[in-house]
Amino acid sequence: MLVDTRVRDPKTKRKQRKWLAFVLVNLDWTPHQVYRKYRRRFGIEVSYRLLRQVKVLTNSRNPALRFFLLALGLRMQNVWVLARWLFTRRPGKGRHKLIPTLLRFATFRKLLVRAVERYYPPPLAISVFVSPQSVIH
């Protein structure tokens, strides 16, 4: 099944025709129903891709800790979306348009790291209880 869509070309900013192909098994949806449902699913996939960028690696088997870290990553994502919506909108009448290059997710992560390091500075030295001569071969 093919669906004719219009998408904006990032270089020319003009809308272009783009054909999307879908394979349906045991579904009696129209092409536009498939397109609408897939567009909703695309938002979910993007949020998981962003979540992987702030994923905390842990060996803990504690499900409460793992759930907390997942929720923290999702909260960071929501704060980023809100900050981007509030601070990167173009002024003017009509629909609000964002300037996505002003606050990318990677930049937002770096800002958060700097803010945390301001209140909790990273250690500049690590105490070692073994003499260096016994470690060097």
- Give the tens place of pLDDT for each residue, 34-69: 777 777 777 777 788 888 888 888 899 999 999 999
Per residue in 104-116, pLDDT (tens digit) is: 999 999 999 999 9
pLDDT band at 13 (very low <50, low <70, confident <90, very high): confident
3-class DSSP string for the chain: CEEEEEEECCCCCCEEEEEEECCCCCCCCCHHHHHHHHHHHHHHHHHHHHHHHCCCCCCCCCHHHHHHHHHHHHHHHHHHHHHHHHHCECCCCCCCCECCCCCCHHHHHHHHHHHHHHHCCCCCCCCCCCCHHHHCC
> Considering the entire predicted model, what is its pTM?
0.62
